[in-house]
Structure 1
Amino acid sequence: MLNYLKEADGIPYICRLLYEAYRIQVTWLDAEDNIRLTLPALVEGRPAKPGSKGLLEEIMDVVRSNRISQSTEAHSPLPLVHTTGFLENCLLLRLPADGAHSGGTILLGPSLSAPITEEMAASLLCDYNLPQSQLESWLRYYRSLPVLNRMRWYHAALLLYTLITGQALSVTDLLLASAIPEPAVHPGDGPDLDLSYRRENVWLHHDPMLEREMFRHIASGDKAGLLRAQAAFPEESFGLLSKKSQLRSKKNLAVSSITLATRAAIEGGLFWEIAYTLSDFHIQHIEELKDIPAVDRALNAALCDFADHVRDNRRSKLSRTGALCQNYIFNHLYEELSLSRLAEIAGLNASYLSQLFKKETGLAISDYIQRERIEEAKRLTELPGITLSEIATRLHFNDQSYFTKVFKKYTGKTPRQYRQEKGNLL
């Protein structure tokens, strides 16, 4: 421990420093786990769960049951990074005992890696069988917590460790120390016995080439080829991913197939945000199904959906730079977009990028952005609950009249005419 920490105000000083740097709750506990200091003094508390422990007691149980193994050369315990079942992140460091200090713990948190939406909070309450009447109190609690992404959180752990010990620590060392996985429990002889049984009875998993062929058709947007490959896939070669439930096993297989299909679609040129959104949609749908035939049908529909989207969105004629720009424009269409920002993303001179993009697409970058915003506006006009003025504002058109002028340029109709026509067709 650093010499100045041997002074009486050393630990409080570090606590104040960390609080001011991250605006996150910092708690100092003595060797008997009694609170010596909390900054700030008043914070929104986690809603009480009947018959359960409070957050602090829960975290201290983690500390007691997860003593980090140290090599004989190590002088100090390493920080413990912990995430609770309610997605709170906490960071703990046990203070080394020496002549001036009897030990103790510094606790940072709780914090969140990302904001918790109302839908997420409701599903967490459902997971833990808590009444939905508590939703508002949980939302208030979540909104009171600071949000630090994982890498910033890890660096807070490194800073705390260095302030306490004066020693350097890498992110890798931190993660290796915090990752204490429980070993998988295998009944009997586990996978070795299962492997022997499969080989003896020629009950083998599928040839990886069959899988590769199926997802190659998705990457090329070939739905017919995909269906042929899928029909040739031997049902008996699928693995068993749940021993307790055939339905759960089927759902797990479907989720893994959709994950591979997502990667194949991205490799085939589909914008990754579209691919991931499709993946989320289909997996959520499959999770709600109640029987195996419905899961099989939903998986077939999902794989065909990926192939169709790749077919409709092939970008094979574009260079890597052109595809990168198009993907960035798609993901950030609701933000201000500039040639200078795209040049920065592509790592090219703005003038050269402008020439390259127009050569590949036939459009100036500004015209391409304008066209894509109108395509997005067309999709939004078909949705209920959003006005035309809101669409214009969200897509960064200066005013309603300019939006109408540009919309008519690309569609031949005003936004109002387009919405009315679509409404009549529905």
Structure 2
Amino acid sequence: MLDYLEETEGLQYICKLIYEAYQIPVCWLDSAGNLQLALPPSMEERPAAPTHAGMLAEIAEFVFGLENNLPRNTGGTSFLPYLHTTGFLENFIMLKLPAELGTGGTIILGPSLAASMTENTVASLMNDHNLPLGHVEEWLQYYRGLPVLSRTRWYHAALLLYSLVNGQALSVTELLLASTHHEPVQHTESRSDLDHSYRRENTWLHHEPMLEREMFRHIVIGDKAGLLRSQASFSEESFGRLSKKSQLRSKKNLAISSITLATRAAIDGGLFWEIAYTLSDFHIQHIEELKDIPAVDKAQLAALCDFADHVRDNRRSKLSRTSALCQNYIFNHMYEELTLNKLAEVAGLNASYLSQLFKKENGISVSDYIQRERIEEAKRLIELPGVTLSDIATRLHFNDQSYFTKVFKKYTGVTPRQFRHDR
């Protein structure tokens, strides 16, 4: 260990270095939990804790509560960094200082975010914590003041902090293992054995893996009829119970699990990964809103059929890899400027050649295809509450409202306003 770390100035230097390198708040608490250093001197405080000491007190209580269980390195000579995410999605890194430093205490990095927060995400968090939605804007402003560090940079900050304090290297694997030392879920062997015995006695066994593989194979090949036949072969008793307290929650969990598997199967079947994931998001969000078991059962089956249909339609198009790549890029970047030259760059082809190839395979020019897909996206946006027609036109890169109306009518036969009125 480096000699200068035995002095307070050494710890202050490390804190300042981490702060300047990652632009993330850094605090040093002594062994009694008193604040010795904070960078910046005053941090953005979450609305639920109006005083500066609020969040620090919460984190200090958490880390000192873990004190006897904090992981050490293989030799047991130094503590390892501990990664912590709060219920409000704030990320922290905590490192207890070695006792031989004399100064002791803990260095805390954070709060930071893994990704920028949207208004919808903040609103859902407020709902999860039973907080009034009238404070969404206040919370949104708070989150906008926090630095955003990707998972990788978050891990690297922890590794750097450890190396500076201890003068030793640490791997990402060691870091992650150190932060997953919570107590495992406990279950009594007698209860587990009783459940197994009861299910065998009544022949209520889980479904055979082969049945599951066969069902999702039909999604891979886009065979909805085969999917329905396979799904009908599952008995109600063959499904596991994924919630002890709620049959509805259990059904929802099962449905989400099957949609996750269907997403992978659809991608294996050649469906654009972004389309597959978007379908998954849509169906899972829909299922979460349902209030009764029959509705969940119907929604689950509809979701599986939707994946099979999309794979079937994708296979029928018989597009070359180049056309498929361009279509996928257009789908993913609908809200950006899209040009033939950009698509040619993505495909690695001459723009003129790409234009000819795309029109030959799709029966429509690149520009017309982009227009058509933007109108399809506009139709989906029009059905959403609170989204104005002028906002849709701007977001989808139409020059003005009148041009948007003209193009919309070209592909739908009605104006955007008429389309909304008919919904």
TM-score, structure 1 length as denominator?
0.83
| CA drift at 1:33 | 1.8
| CA drift at 1:49 | 6.3
SS at match of 1:91: strand
Q: Is the 8 A contact 1:92 1:105 kept in 2?
A: yes
**Count of residues in Structure 1 that have an aligned counterpart in Structure 2:** 418
**Alignment CA distance shift 1:423-1:344 (3 Å):** closer
| CA drift at 1:316 | 6.4
Structure 1 segment 170-189 matched on structure 2, within 5 A: 170-189=171-190
Q: Which residue is 1:44 aligned to?
A: 44
Q: Is the 8 A contact 2:389 2:416 kept in 1?
A: no
Q: Which residue is 2:281 aligned to?
A: 280
Q: Which residue is 1:304 aligned to?
A: 305
| CA drift at 1:130 | 3.5
Q: Which residue is 1:117 aligned to?
A: 118
Q: Which residue is 1:105 aligned to?
A: 106
Q: Which residue is 1:13 aligned to?
A: 13
**Alignment CA distance shift 1:170-1:360 (3 Å):** farther
Q: Is the 8 A contact 1:374 1:407 kept in 2?
A: yes
Q: Is the 8 A contact 1:204 1:237 kept in 2?
A: yes
Post-superposition Cα deviations, 1:390-409, rounded to whole Å, max 9, x if no partner, equal: 4444333456677678667x
Q: Which residue identity does 2:17 align to in structure 1?
A: L
> Which one is further off, 122-131 or 159-168?
122-131
Tell me the C-alpha RMSD between the 2 structures. Answer: 3.4
> Which 5+ residue runs of structure 1 have no aligned equivalent?
none
**Alignment CA distance shift 1:180-1:328 (3 Å):** farther
| CA drift at 1:224 | 2.8
- Tell me how far apart the structure 1 counterparts of residues 377 and 2 of structure 2 sit (CA, whole Å): 58
- Tell me how far apart the structure 1 counterparts of residues 261 and 128 of structure 2 sit (CA, whole Å): 27
Q: Which residue is 2:266 aligned to?
A: 265
Q: Is the 8 A contact 2:372 2:411 kept in 1?
A: no
- Tell me how far apart the structure 1 counterparts of residues 388 and 123 of structure 2 sit (CA, whole Å): 29
**Alignment CA distance shift 1:71-1:383 (3 Å):** closer
Post-superposition Cα deviations, 1:22-43, rounded to whole Å, max 9, x if no partner, equal: 2221101112221101111122
**Alignment CA distance shift 1:245-1:423 (3 Å):** closer
Q: Which residue identity does 1:12 align to in structure 2?
A: Q
- Tell me how far apart the structure 2 counterparts of residues 22 and 69 of structure 1 sit (CA, whole Å): 25
| CA drift at 1:276 | 2.5
SS at match of 2:190: coil
Identity of aligned residues (%): 69
Post-superposition Cα deviations, 1:349-384, rounded to whole Å, max 9, x if no partner, equal: 657983876675566656644553354345556767
SS at match of 1:45: coil
Q: Is the 8 A contact 1:218 1:261 kept in 2?
A: yes
**Alignment CA distance shift 1:396-1:246 (3 Å):** closer
> Which one is further off, 100-109 or 367-376?
367-376
SS at match of 1:54: helix
> Which one is further off, 190-199 or 167-176?
190-199
- Tell me how far apart the structure 2 counterparts of residues 393 and 210 of structure 1 sit (CA, whole Å): 49
| CA drift at 1:207 | 1.8
**Alignment CA distance shift 1:329-1:203 (3 Å):** same
- Tell me how far apart the structure 2 counterparts of residues 380 and 123 of structure 1 sit (CA, whole Å): 20
- Tell me how far apart the structure 2 counterparts of residues 137 and 407 of structure 1 sit (CA, whole Å): 38
Q: Which residue identity does 1:124 align to in structure 2?
A: L
Q: Which residue is 2:97 aligned to?
A: 95
- Tell me how far apart the structure 2 counterparts of residues 311 and 421 of structure 1 sit (CA, whole Å): 32
| CA drift at 1:289 | 2.8
Q: Which residue identity does 1:31 align to in structure 2?
A: S
TM-score, structure 2 length as denominator?
0.84
- Tell me how far apart the structure 2 counterparts of residues 284 and 221 of structure 1 sit (CA, whole Å): 23
Post-superposition Cα deviations, 1:127-150, rounded to whole Å, max 9, x if no partner, equal: 333444544443332222122121
Structure 1 segment 71-90 matched on structure 2, within 5 A: 71=73, 73-90=75-92
> Which 5+ residue runs of structure 2 have no aligned equivalent?
none
Q: Is the 8 A contact 1:81 1:91 kept in 2?
A: yes
Q: Is the 8 A contact 1:242 1:248 kept in 2?
A: yes
**Alignment CA distance shift 1:40-1:362 (3 Å):** same
Q: Which residue identity does 1:89 align to in structure 2?
A: N
| CA drift at 1:58 | 2.7
Is residue 2:157 matched to residue 1:156? yes
Q: Which residue is 1:233 aligned to?
A: 234
| CA drift at 1:118 | 3.3
Q: Which residue is 1:332 aligned to?
A: 333
